């Protein structure tokens, strides 16, 4: 009876919490380009871009540009504001450039209330922006990204090569057991990318491929979860893969962990935690935070006859930010599919290794 009472109490608390914010529930009907835009009835949302790029001499770069929205005033409390300083959400963003040949990882963040229009969501062709950091969507479905800091800059044009892929079942990507511990989550897993990258004082014209994630939710994670291991992989045969492992505070992997395999034609296959194995093979300890990150992995998908190993292009790709600290970096992969060699590139994200996740929910 005590376990039932505890469950009822937790469920009622979640329902009360979610009465002001929508929660991710089965049945969401995705529409594009509508769902590229903001969903401000949910508390948390992000637009996440990563990519692997090279210049004409083969110099290798990675980048991340992510815009976050964290709700402050739930929909029921939104009245006509009498002050610019009364805002509905906090805007923040993370920006990184990995210069593999230069052995540099450059990272920055911005945060703003957007009281004077310096940050916001959905204005004309701009989906999200903070100062000069911008995400724009064009009439042809392509995207333009821009971010600039003292030691790094990107100006990129991204053209989708595949249609959006929805993750999970019934329109939700489950992150833990129980009502509301889920998100609405889709990806464009391959975007042709052109533009320029600056690392310190040097500018490079680059080409390559990017990955776009968009996710919105309220209260995804459970108290028993410590963080996650997430990866996106783009293979040379034009297939793509997303996997995530939700880590419990006990050190075990939550069975709700899942993924998606995307074929060359854009059709996708949902993966449960039983369909793949991720085994750490190499680690790196941060001098800045003392966090120990598993940055090298062996990944096996038996049903796809696929196995590969991940090798980051730099060991140190840690965003030692305040208050969120995590490792997010570019990698190379090599392995076999059906016994034949296969190679590719991707991005790896590791959270919760340097402490509590705070408000960062994937």
Per-residue pLDDT of the chain (362 residues; tens, 9 = 90+): 333 333 333 333 443 444 589 999 999 999 999 999 999 999 999 999 999 999 999 999 999 999 999 998 888 887 666 667 778 899 999 999 999 999 999 999 999 998 889 999 999 999 999 999 999 999 999 999 999 999 999 999 999 999 999 999 999 999 999 888 999 999 999 999 999 999 999 999 999 999 999 999 998 788 899 999 999 999 999 999 999 999 999 999 999 999 999 999 999 999 999 999 999 999 999 999 999 999 999 999 999 999 999 999 999 999 999 888 999 999 999 999 999 999 999 999 999 999 866 444 44
Coil/strand/helix, residue 3 = helix
CATH of residue 138: 2.40.370.10
The set of residues, in sequence order, having a beta carbon less than 8 Å from that of 122 and lying 6+ positions away, is: 37, 38
Residue 25 lies in a domain: no
Residue 301 lies in a domain: yes
Give the tokens for residue 256: 């709700």
Residue 345 lies in a domain: yes
How far apart, in whole angstroms, are the C-alpha atoms of residue 353 and residue 333?
23
Residue 6 lies in a domain: no
Would you say 188 and 211 are in contact if contact means Cβ atoms under 8 Å apart?
yes
> For residue 323, is the peptide bond before it cis, meaning its omega torsion is within 30 degrees of 0?
yes
Residue 3 lies in a domain: no
The set of residues, in sequence order, having a beta carbon less than 8 Å from that of 358 and lying 6+ positions away, is: 323, 324
Residue 174 lies in a domain: yes
Bridge partners of residue 99, in order along the sequence: 61, 104
Q: What is the pLDDT of residue 82?
A: 61
Q: What is the pLDDT of residue 293?
A: 98
Compute the C-alpha angle 62/68/73, nearest 5°: 175
Q: What is the pLDDT of residue 75?
A: 85
Residue 16 lies in a domain: no
How far apart, in whole angstroms, are the C-alpha atoms of residue 351 and residue 326?
5
Q: What is the pLDDT of residue 357?
A: 63
DSSP 8-state symbol, 297? E
Q: What is the DSSP string of 203-241?
A: EEEEEEEEEEEEEEESS-S-TTEEEEEEEEEEETTS-EE
How far apart, in whole angstroms, are the C-alpha atoms of residue 63 and residue 345?
13
Write out the residue range of the structural domain in which residue 67 sits. Answer: 31-351
From 123, 128, 130, 164, select the one nearest 144 (Cα to Cα): 128
Residue 206 lies in a domain: yes
Give the tokens for residue 104: 């540099």
DSSP 8-state symbol, 10? H
Give the tokens for residue 192: 């042709």
**Domain tally, the chain:** 1
């Amino acid at each position: 009876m005590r376990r039932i009472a505890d469950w009822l109490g937790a469920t009622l608390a979640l329902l009360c919490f979610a009465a002001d914010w929508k929660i991710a529930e089965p049945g969401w009907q995705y529409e594009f380009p509508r769902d590229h835009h903001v969903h401000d009835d949910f508390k948390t949302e992000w637009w996440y871009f990563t990519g692997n790029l090279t210049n004409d001499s083969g110099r290798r770069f990675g980048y991340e540009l992510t815009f976050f929205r964290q709700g402050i005033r739930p929909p029921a409390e939104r009245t006509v504001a009498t002050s610019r300083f009364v805002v509905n959400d906090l805007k923040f963003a993370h920006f990184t450039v990995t210069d593999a040949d230069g052995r540099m990882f450059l990272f920055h963040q911005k945060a703003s209330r957007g009281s004077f229009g310096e940050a916001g969501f959905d204005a004309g062709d701009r989906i999200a922006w903070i100062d000069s950091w911008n995400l724009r969507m064009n009439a042809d479905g392509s995207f333009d990204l821009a971010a600039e800091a003292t030691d790094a800059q990107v100006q990129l044009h991204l053209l989708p090569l595949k249609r959006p892929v929805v993750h999970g079942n019934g329109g939700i990507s489950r992150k833990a057991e129980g009502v509301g511990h889920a998100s609405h989550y889709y990806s464009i897993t391959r975007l042709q990318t052109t533009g320029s990258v600056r690392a310190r004082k040097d500018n490079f014209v680059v080409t390559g491929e990017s990955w776009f994630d968009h996710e919105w939710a309220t209260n995804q994670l459970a108290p028993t979860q410590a963080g996650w291991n997430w990866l996106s992989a783009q293979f040379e045969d034009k297939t793509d893969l997303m996997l995530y492992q939700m880590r419990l505070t006990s050190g075990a992997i939550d069975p709700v962990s899942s993924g998606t395999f995307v074929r060359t034609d854009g059709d996708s296959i949902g993966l449960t935690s039983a369909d793949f194995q991720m085994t750490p093979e190499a680690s790196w300890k941060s001098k800045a935070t003392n966090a120990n990150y598993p940055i090298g992995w062996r990944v096996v998908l038996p049903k796809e006859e696929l196995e590969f190993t991940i090798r980051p292009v730099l060991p140190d790709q840690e965003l030692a930010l305040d208050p969120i600290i995590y490792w997010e970096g570019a990698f190379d992969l090599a392995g076999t599919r059906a016994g034949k060699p296969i190679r590719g590139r991707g991005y790896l994200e590791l959270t919760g290794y340097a402490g509590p996740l705070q408000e960062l929910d994937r």
